Amino acid sequence: MNSTSGISPATTAIDAPQDLLIVLRHAPHGSSWLREGLDVALVAAAFGKRVGLLFQGDGVFALLQGQSSGPLAQKGTHPQLAMLEMYDIEHLWVSEAALAARGLPVDSLMLPVTSLEASRIARLMHSHPHTLIF
Amino acid sequence: MNSTSGISPATTAIDAPQDLLIVLRHAPHGSSWLREGLDVALVAAAFGKRVGLLFQGDGVFALLQGQSSGPLAQKGTHPQLAMLEMYDIEHLWVSEAALAARGLPVDSLMLPVTSLEASRIARLMHSHPHTLIF
Amino acid sequence: MLVHAAPYSQQGALSALRFANAVVERGHRLSTVFFYHDGVHNASALMSPPQDEVQLADGWKRLHREGGTQLLVCIAAGLRRGLVDTGEAARHGLNSHSVEPPFELTGVGQLVDAMLENDRLITFAP
Amino acid sequence: MLVHAAPYSQQGALSALRFANAVVERGHRLSTVFFYHDGVHNASALMSPPQDEVQLADGWKRLHREGGTQLLVCIAAGLRRGLVDTGEAARHGLNSHSVEPPFELTGVGQLVDAMLENDRLITFAP
Amino acid sequence: MTLHLLNRSPQSEGVYRDLREAFGDGDHLLLIEDGCYAALSSGRDAVAAFAGRVSVLKEDLVSRGLEGRVDGAIEVVDMQGFVDLTEIHQRSVSWF
Amino acid sequence: MTLHLLNRSPQSEGVYRDLREAFGDGDHLLLIEDGCYAALSSGRDAVAAFAGRVSVLKEDLVSRGLEGRVDGAIEVVDMQGFVDLTEIHQRSVSWF
């Protein structure tokens, strides 16, 4: 099974391996993992590399609508996500099981993403020459 | 249910609240939590406080026999455990469920400990005026 | 208050400072903050976060200045992690230091004392 | 090699150094170690662990000295965490520093380059 | 009576398990930081054992975009409410 | 073919779950650090999905007192074996 929010059909292709796949497994705010993973993605894109993102586990919470800055004005990661398109990072994948376990419909997210079942996640990782997990 | 290894009957009493209860939930070697929790226990005892320890979750792995120093001569925590008696830290409790989930018989451990079922763990925490979790 | 969380890596340090401010605002006295485990990094005088991000160190110092809160850093946890004041730097032959007043390097015994002397202890974890 | 783990808090830094030694012993070239997230603390010149514990910094420096391995520290992750060399210290008005050669502060771009230029990348996490 | 603070998402099942063992009569649980994710209906199993005695910190909900999504059985408290909880309970422990 | 490194105990169920999604044909799992605890028979469920393709690092077993307790289905490799695995596999990823 494979569904998209329908906004960006380009993101449906998992047969479009990028130079680098960044896997984001951590929720926003609680730790700096998500921010630091996205920083690597944005820098790699700025250096002309093609970058894809996979949201897995609690990383899918990064895609919730309505996030804001945290206590003491701690920056969130949603502004980084809003910049992805500007950096031509358009291949966004998300674990279907991770969304389902958290009760999040794919079309409720802040960005158009392609949801992947497990076997397609394994294929996605195999098709990318470089993968970093955050 | 409540069993001990039979070596030290003193450790059976959960009705002997200490000044301070230290809960150890982390395994040895992987992080410094266990070491730093034990450091607090030993210092408090050296300052004349009566200290009890509760091993819960992966903390029960601290009690395995046959541990040694780690890679690059990283010290383990078993030497700290061996010093507990010298510091008069004799009230050692362990979660019965945590042992069972890991297939560890209570009498296979390196120290005599009292194994507690859940309701007794809650009572143990209530009976102590101060608790720190590591 | 016991802080195990490092600034910028985990939210715990932010939560701790926010809670500390709320407690003081309520009129309570916050006698001691004890930094342990990776929380010792809160005491680093060398942190240089971007201007538009939270400056945690300023918040801790304000607690000390305005309410006399002691800012105690576990010396054993700190030395391993590169937190040294001028005295320790000299003793270890280092030509730089990273801890400055009002942060003080001290032993775990101070944590034990603070725990027994105060009404409440609250821990902020990584 | 990418190191996210801080020394003394997590085993990852020890595992990384041990693996690095094994790889070099096998005759491979370890071109770059990139320190990111809490791994930047490996570059602190101010760590003073007890004499009878592992001196990780010495191990990293030996890799550089004997095999020319670059020891790169993410500057963005480092500045937030109090890792500054003399240049950054001057720029931020600090009278101390914590990073000395052979460790070099550098951008994440260098990680991307290293990843694409080398045969293998291995990450050691906290 | 103990106030338990928990800052991990339900993904960290082990810490929820250990907390269940230690949670006694009259205790209360406050979810903070990534613990907020346990306040969604998808986290219901994780906190079922503490039913009626669970709060969640509003400020941490808001920053995560969770404010409108909290399970009805869980009370939302703000920073002042957090301080209140530490006043009411003789002691607190933090799970992580 | 990917070499997956995992350094968390089976207590961190979320990371095992995510790894199961990402583990493909021909992949291999090496348990290191606290990941060693998954090599006990009590960890069998956590690694069942990777059956026959799991190794565990000897040095980390030894320091934890686990050497004699490893489940028969899991291969013990030393540091040299770890290096071998990184040579055989085109790439590695680390789960934590």
**Biggest alpha carbon–alpha carbon distance for chain C:** 45
Q: What one-character-per-residue DSSP string does F20-66 give?
A: HHH--TT-EEEE-GGGGGGGBGGGHHHHGGGTTSEEEEHHHHHHTT-
Long-range own/partner contacts, residues B12-18 (CB < 8 A, 24 or more apart): B12/B114, B13/B91, B14/B93, B14/B114, B14/B116, B14/B120, B14/B123, B14/B124, B14/B127, B15/B127, B16/B91, B17/B52, B17/B127, B17/B128, B17/B129, B18/B49, B18/B50, B18/B51, B18/B52, B18/B91, B18/B128
Q: Which residues of A touch F53 (CB under 8 A)?
A: none
The better pLDDT of the pair E85, B3 is held by E85
pLDDT of B5 above 50: no
Q: What integer is the mean pLDDT of A77-96? A: 97
* D108, D113, D121 member nearest A40 (Cβ): D108
- Any C CB within 8 A of E96 CB: yes
pLDDT score of B4: 45
E28 within 8 A of E89, measured Cβ to Cβ: yes
What are A6-30's pLDDT values in tens digits? 444 444 456 678 999 999 999 999 9
Mean pLDDT of chain A: 91
Under DSSP, the state recorded for D78 is H
- Any D CB within 8 A of C85 CB: no
Domains, in order of start, for chain D: 2-124 (3.40.1260.10)
pLDDT of B119 above 50: yes
The better pLDDT of the pair D42, A5 is held by D42
State the Cα torsion C96-C101-C105-C109 to the nearest 10°.
180
D74 is catalytic: yes
pLDDT score of B16: 78
What are A28-78's pLDDT values in tens digits? 999 999 999 999 999 999 999 999 999 999 999 999 999 999 888 899 999
- Any A CB within 8 A of F17 CB: yes
* C12, C22, C28 member nearest E82 (Cβ): C22
Confidence of residue B12 (pLDDT cuts 50, 70, 90): very low
- Any E CB within 8 A of F14 CB: yes
pLDDT of B2 above 90: no
**Two structure tokens written together for B132:** 């720190």
Measure A111 CA to nearest chain E CA, in Å. Answer: 14
F45 CB neighbour count, 10 Å cutoff: 11
Q: Which residues of A touch C58 (CB under 8 A)?
A: none
Q: Which residues of F touch B103 (CB under 8 A)?
A: 40-42
CB contact under 8 A, D26 and F93: no
- Any E CB within 8 A of C126 CB: yes
What are D63-83's pLDDT values in tens digits? 999 999 999 999 999 999 999
This model's pTM is above 0.90:
yes
Provide CB contacts within 8 A for A94, sequence distance 6+: A54, A55, A56, A60, A63, A106, A109, A113, A114, A115, A116
Provide CB contacts within 8 A for C50, sequence distance 6+: D79, D80
Amino acid residing at D42: N
Q: What integer is the mean pLDDT of C39-57? A: 94
Q: Which CATH superfamily is domain F2-95 in?
A: DsrEFH-like (3.40.1260.10)
- Looking at the DSSP bridge assignments, the partners of residue C10 are A31
Nearest chain B alpha carbon to D5 = B31
Mean pLDDT of chain B: 91
Closest alpha carbon to A63 in A41, A36, A95, A86: A95
Range list of H helices, B1-134:
33-46, 78-82, 96-101, 118-127
On the 0-12 / 13-18 / 19+ scale of CB atoms within 10 A, E45 is exposed
pLDDT of E77 above 90: yes
Q: Which residues of C touch A67 (CB under 8 A)?
A: none
pLDDT of F90 above 80: yes
Confidence of residue B14 (pLDDT cuts 50, 70, 90): low
For an interface test with A, the pick among C4, C14, C19 (most A C-beta atoms closer than 10 Å) comes out as: C14
D74 within 8 A of D106, measured Cβ to Cβ: yes
What are B43-86's pLDDT values in tens digits? 999 999 999 999 999 999 999 999 999 888 899 999 999 999 99
* B57, B64, B102 member nearest F64 (Cβ): B64
CB contact under 8 A, B67 and F64: yes
Provide CB contacts within 8 A for F75, sequence distance 6+: F54, F55, F56
Between CA B106 and CA B113 the distance in angstroms is: 7
Residue with tokens 């240049």: D87
- Any C CB within 8 A of B75 CB: no
Complete edge-to-edge strand list for the sheet that includes strand C2-3? C103-106, C70-74, C32-35, C2-3, C123-124
* F33, F42, F62 member nearest B101 (Cβ): F42
pLDDT score of A13: 52
Mean pLDDT of chain F: 97
Domain ranges of chain A: 27-64+76-116
CB contact under 8 A, B133 and E21: no
> pLDDT over 70 for what percent of chain B?
89
A–B touching, 3+ CB–CB pairs within 8 Å: no
For an interface test with F, the pick among B35, B63, B77, B102 (most F C-beta atoms closer than 10 Å) comes out as: B102
**Two structure tokens written together for D125:** 């996490």
How many residues are present in chain F?
Answer: 96
Touching C (3+ Cβ pairs <8 A), the chains are A, B, D, E
User: What φ, ψ does residue B131 adopt, rounded to 5°?
Assistant: -135, 135
Reduced 3-state DSSP string for C26-61: CCCCCCEEEECHHHHHHHECCCCCCCCCCCHHHHHH
pLDDT of B10 above 80: no
On the 0-12 / 13-18 / 19+ scale of CB atoms within 10 A, C69 is buried
User: What φ, ψ does residue F74 adopt, rounded to 5°?
Assistant: -110, 135
- Any E CB within 8 A of C121 CB: yes
Q: Which residues of C touch A31 (CB under 8 A)?
A: 9-11, 126
**Two structure tokens written together for D69:** 């391995």
Residue C27 exposure: Cα atoms within 13 Å on the Cβ side: 2
pLDDT score of B1: 40
CB contact under 8 A, F63 and B76: yes
* F32, F91, F95 member nearest D15 (Cβ): F32
Residue with tokens 């990917």: F2
Which class would CATH give A27-64+76-116? alpha beta
Q: Which residues of A touch F94 (CB under 8 A)?
A: 133
Confidence of residue B15 (pLDDT cuts 50, 70, 90): low
pLDDT score of A8: 43
Residue with tokens 């990823």: F93
> pLDDT over 90 for what percent of chain C?
96
